[in-house]
Each structure stands twice: as structure tokens, then as C-alpha cells.
Chain A
Amino acid sequence: MNMIEAINDALDIMLARDPDVVVLGEDVGYFGGVFRATAGLQKKHGRTRVFDTPISECGIIGVAVGMGAYGLRPVPEIQFADYIYPGLDQLVSEAARLRYRSAGEFIAPLTVRSPFGGGIFGGQTHSQSPEALFTHVAGLKTVIPSTPHDAKGLLIAAIEDNDPVIFFEPKRIYNGPFDGYYDKPVEPWSRHPDSEVPEGHYRVPLGKARIVQAGEALTVLAYGTMVHVARAVCAEKGVDAEILDLRTLVPLDIDAIEASVRKTGRCLIVHEATRTGGFGAELSALVQERCFYHLEAPIERVTGFDTPYPHSLEWAYFPGPVRLGEAIDRLMMPA
């Protein structure tokens, strides 16, 4: 399966298993979603389970919070993460705090799916990676898969979770992993081992990182598309890197991070999002606080630049092989 098929499968399974699951969003019903993630689901599960909404992100999240308060398990879609901002008040002030402020009387067990990330010539409003806005909010979980296998298992776990989950889907890798070499043809998921997706229901637990590859010389912390870019660059550099796909940013798998950095003594943090105030800053601070006496080089952050996401200069912006390569060289320089 590619990642879209894996997501569609997860939704299909949850709609069938739990009569309280509903899928809503712009174009998700009859049409099946602009990325086809909900294709066929309305026909199979009915119009009151999978339905189109008005173009109002505030309304989509707001009604999902109300549905959650009733006892449903809504899975709203925001067509692009770049358009989640009109729904931000409902997410930050309402969904994230409902359990806390009502002392558990009401909960918001919603899973907000949204395609995110760049690398597709999406320009300013089809490329953003706003995860740090959500990791900063107490009460929200933030999940980002990097493979079809994890996309399905994490989405099922997110839907079953009783806390509100922001589920960002890296649209650059919907159809195949992307190694950062934008001038080469895309390899489809079918040739990748992580496209083996088990049939039926399974969970990938939230809050657990995945060791993409074990290594001794350097720890790479990445998520989403950048897992694949980092892997390709490490292979090219011949560095014995341990690559962690964080998968869940909040709650974070701090044990996996600590264990790896204490072993390798070096840490590279990679994300597409802009640098200042990005999630990489939190990761860097945690590694510094918890692994200081094991560090043999300054922690490196490879990120997007602090600009809006550009159109024509996309590959100057994107944290690609050159930027990663230089950071790895600095990290691996003998002391």
C-alpha cells in the first residue's frame, strides 16, 4: 500500500469497528478527498458517517468538539495544514483544554487529519509544517507518520485515543518515499519494505519512536519526509548513524532519544519547518539537558529557513542533502 491507501484502510476499519467514528471535512464525502484518502468511504459507510462540510475550518473543528462531547469519535480533515489556522481557537482553547477544564466531565477524542509539509511546489499555502504551534499546546498530541505501515497503525491508535490528536500526513511521501533528490524520479512505495501493511486492525502506539536504522556514530532525530532524506544522506556519507523516526512529537519518546544520544554522543535534528521556535529547538534543549556529559559535539539543527515557504526557490529552502551533509560533516569532525 502507499500511504494514502494505508490511511484510507485505517479509516475504513475504524468506521466499521466503531459506530461512533465519523469522518468529516471539505470534499471528503462523495468525492473522496482531494488526495483520495477518503475514497469510497461514504459509499460504504453512509452519508451520516462520512460527509462533506462547508468551507470553514473553525466550523469543522468546532462541530467535531461538540460531537466529541456528545460521545462520538470524530475524524475531521483539514485539507491542508496551511489552512488549519481558522480552526486554531477551537483546537487550542477548546479541544486541548476540554478534559482539563471540565475535570474530565467532557472530552474531545478527535483526530484532526491534515496533509502537511513541502517538496511539492506547493508554495506558501500548500507546504507549511506548523507542528510546533501544536506541540506548544498543553493537551494536544501531535503525530506524524513516515511510512504506510506506521500511517495506518498510528491513525488507528490516534482515533482510539481519548485525547485530541493532530495527525499530520507528509503529502510529499503519500505515493513514495522522498530522499531529497528532487531531480530524480520518485520511487513508489511498492519497492519499499515499509509499504507492507498488515490487513485488518493493528495499532502503532503513540509516544513511541521507531529506530529506522541502528548506528553508533551519530543520532539523527527526524519525522515525516525528513526521515527518508536523512537516511539517504547518511548512507551517502557512509556515516554509521542511528536514525530515530520520532512518530509522535507529544508525548515524546524521551527514553529512546536519551538512550541513543548517550550511545552515539552526537545529535542531528532535522525538520522541514522553519528554524526559530521550531520543534527542533525543544529537541535540542532536551538533549542538551539530559545528555550533556555524553555530547562530543554541539547539537546540530537542520531545518527550513525562517521565511515563508517559497514557490520557485523551493529547493533552496528545503533542508536537502547539501544542508544535511554539511551538518553531518561538522558533527563528525574529530574533536
Chain B
Amino acid sequence: MSSPNSATDRGNLPPLSLHVPEPRFRPGDAADYSHLPISQAGAQARPDEACAPVETHPLCLDLIRVLDDEGRAVGPWNPALDAETLRRMLRAMALTRAFDDRMYRAQRQGKTSFYMKSTGEEATAVAPAMALAPDDMVFPTYRQQGLLITRGYPLVEMINQIYSNRADKLLGRQLPVMYSAREQSFFSISGNLATQFPQAVGWAMASAIKGDTRIAAAWLGEGSSAEGDFHSGLTFAAVYNAPVIFNIVNNQWAISSFSGFAGAERTTFAARAIGYGIAGLRVDGNDPLAVYAASRWAADRARANGGPTLIEHFTYRAEGHSTSDDPGQYRSAQERAEWPLGDPVTRLKQHLIALGEWSEDAHAAMDLELVETVKAAAREAEKNGVLGQGLHHPTRTLFEGVFEEMPWHLREQSEQAIHERRIRYPDWQE
């Protein structure tokens, strides 16, 4: 008797085969990106912000680029920013990088448990932050520290959070880099991936329900675009024409998994927008002017009740996933150097120099100054303690804020925790 799975009565059909994606380069391989189609800067059409979503389909398969190889800003997407704005953008990106470098080192020095750099992706946070209004609510992942830095959140507060010290506004409750900054319209970061997508839509819907003028913007990585929340978020945004901008930062890697495990072998991430009836744009994520222009286009569209836009930022995660990760175990060490879209800070620097508005010397001086700025902020934050030094918030705060008012069971547990501390540290006082 043949089982239902038996092939005996199925003729001579070829055996099926499972496709398991595999990245092109592994450790030890030479990285070569010549297969990657890189669009010519300035060659992409710029449709009207009020266009039908389907009109953006060609842009979902292309790559919007403004800065050419000589650092000139070209084409219809050139946002034509003045030199002062460009220098502000450059500074915010450089500051983000300097901050990352310092905090990475702080983790290695044992001052905190964990850190995540955004090196190479600074433009995907800094440029949108400049394109949005300061009170548009942003729903970031853990790799958009550039949003906070651009919006002027004090570095000391960021470091207090990273050190979980007694000045940490999040009371030491959150893992480092999971910031929350309501005054800067920066939503509380969650460790659970993609949950912020439907939340941003809900915020945008609320703004629309109230007849407000503020819009929302959300970020996720290409890896977490595989989560169900991505689908829910885009569906709801389309259904209610919510004033929201979805940013997919496609940095090619989700920890050790290359973007093929999120579907990149079949089409672009931007192209998904079209199936939802949402406008889609695919931009060179290392071109700060292209990112700015796309964000501005999407913000203007949303603000005019034109509905949501999905932007794929095509970039490269230059560093490890986090301080707990060693990318040398799964990808070629040459990838970063060979990445054909270069480095966002270098490209904007070249542009400003080409405009005659910046110089190598000015840049070197700025870098030195930023290192000192971050160092001073870190020293200031260290006065409030670093992780594990005992200078954390009082024990009772562990139990506060679970609910608006503390119920009896948490009150009892709070007394227990304080009792335990007294036994462990007889002289302890809070």
C-alpha cells in the first residue's frame, strides 16, 4: 500500500527542490559588487507629490540618487539645500559617528552592557530628521540614533541611558540604546521588531482623526520587514490613507542573515508598496541629499492628505550588528570597502567641498571638535555612574510605573526587594 506521500504513482515528474538563499560572499571571499545595478545619479524622474501610487512603481525598481561621483548634486531630486543646511547635516552625521565610536569603546571598557552602532547608515536617520517637522512623531528602531542627535537631544541624556545610571530618565529599566524622548517627538524604542509600524499608523490615524497637521514616520530594517506587523501597518495605512512615512533601512544584513532571507532575491523592498496601493521610493541610502529629497517628498505628500509612502533606503551595515556580534564569522571582510555606494559622510563632505563651502581642514577640525564634545558628554554622564557601580535608581523604582498606581501585590514585592537589599548590604541606604 502506498502512503499519501509516496512518489510511486506520480509518473516521471522532476523532484522538487527547496531554495535556501545564500549570500554571494562569505568570510575569506573577495567581495565584488559588479553585479549590482547602480543607477546614474540625477537620472530618476520626480513625479508630483500628489501622483497615484502606481506612478511611483518605476522608482521602486530604480535607485534615486542626487550626488554623482564627483560630489555634484544633479537631477530633479536635488533638494537644492543651502550651504548652511548642508553643513548642519554633515555635522549631525559626523556627530552620530563620533558618538557611536565612543559608546562602542565604552562598552568594551565595561561601562555598559551593550551598544549598537549605525555606522554607514547615518544619512537614513539624519536626513529624514531634517526633512520632517520637529514635532512629527518618529517611531525608530534601535539604529536611528541620528534622529535624536539631529533633533538636539542632549548627548549626556543619551549616555545616561546607555550607562543606566542614576540620571537615566528611563530609570535603568531599558537596555542601552532603547531611548525614549517625548519632548523630541521620538517614540519609546522596543526590543520587539516591527511593532512600531502599526503603532506609527495608529498615531498618524489619531492625528488625522483630530484634524491635526502632524505626521508620523517609522523605521525598520529590511530583516524585520518579514514580520507580520509590517503587513498590518501597511494595510492599515493604505485603508485609512494615514499620514505616515515608512522607512525600510535595507542595510543588507539582519545580524548574520543577508537580505535574501527577507525576500531581496525576488524584488526590491520598495516594490512591496505598490501591492498595498502605497507610493514607493527606493533611494541611495548613502546619499544624504537623495534621502532628504525622498523624505521631503513623502512628508509633503502625507501632509497634503496624499497618504502614506514607503521608502527603501539602500545602504550597508558597515559594522557588526551590535557589541555582541562578530560579522567576521559570516560575511566577507572586504564588503565594507567594496560597497559601491560609498560612505554617506564622505559623500556629503565631497559635495560641500565641490561647492566651495567646506574643506578637508575644516572637516578634520570638526571631527576633532566632535570627539571632544562626545568625550565631555561621556565624562559628564559618568559622574552619574556607569552600569554596575551601584549608582542606579532606588530599588522601589523597579516597581513603579508598571501601572499608573501601584497595586497591593507590587507594593508587597517592593517591600520584599528592599528587605533583601538590607540583608545583603546592612549599611545600605537609598
Contacts and interface: CB of A to CB of B under 8 A. Distances in A.
Are both chains from one complex?
Answer: yes
Interface of A: 22, 48-49, 53-54, 56, 58-59, 61-72, 74, 86, 89-90, 93-94, 97-107, 138-139, 141, 161-163, 207, 250-252, 254
B37 to A, nearest CB: 34
A103 B228 contact: no
Contact of B180 (A65, A68, A70, A101): A101
Contacts of A89: 192, 195, 229
Interface stretch (B19-27, B197-205, B249-257, B372-380): B197-205
Nearest to B171: A103
Contact of A98 (B178, B188, B203, B231): B188
Given A53-B236, A56-B235, A59-B233, A66 B202 contact: yes
19 contacts: A48-B208, A58-B229, A59-B232, A59-B236, A61-B198, A62-B195, A63-B198, A63-B201, A65-B199, A66-B139, A66-B199, A69-B199, A90-B195, A101-B170, A102-B188, A103-B171, A106-B187, A162-B404, A163-B404
Nearest to A105: B182
Nearest to B393: A103
Contacts of B137: 69-70
Interface of B: 137, 139, 169-171, 173-174, 178, 180-182, 187-188, 190-192, 195, 197-210, 216, 228-229, 231-233, 235-236, 239, 401-404, 407-409
B199 A254 contact: no
B403 A63 contact: no
Nearest to B401: A100
A64 to B, nearest CB: 6
Which of B170, B191, B216, B232 has the most A CB atoms < 10 Å from its CB? B232
Given A105-B182, A251-B403, 17 more contacts: A22-B206, A56-B231, A62-B201, A67-B202, A67-B209, A69-B187, A70-B137, A89-B195, A90-B195, A99-B404, A102-B170, A102-B180, A103-B170, A163-B403, A163-B404, A207-B407, A254-B408
A72 B199 CA distance: 13
B246 to A, nearest CB: 13
B315 to A, nearest CB: 26
A103 B195 contact: no
A89 B239 CA distance: 22
Contacts of A207: 407
Nearest to B170: A103
A100 B231 CA distance: 27
Given A59-B232, A102-B180, A65 B202 contact: yes
Contacts of B180: 101-103, 105-106
B141 to A, nearest CB: 14
Contacts of B404: 99, 107, 161-163
Contacts of A252: 409
Contacts of A250: 407
B409 A139 contact: no
Given A63-B236, A103-B401, A105-B188, A71 B201 contact: no
A106 B188 CA distance: 7
Which of B191, B199, B216 has the most A CB atoms < 10 Å from its CB? B199
A106 B182 contact: yes
Which of A53, A56, A59, A89 has the most B CB atoms < 10 Å from its CB? A59
A251 B199 contact: no
B236 to A, nearest CB: 5
Contacts of B198: 58-59, 61-63, 65-66, 90
A89 B170 CA distance: 22
B235 A48 contact: no
A183 B197 CA distance: 49
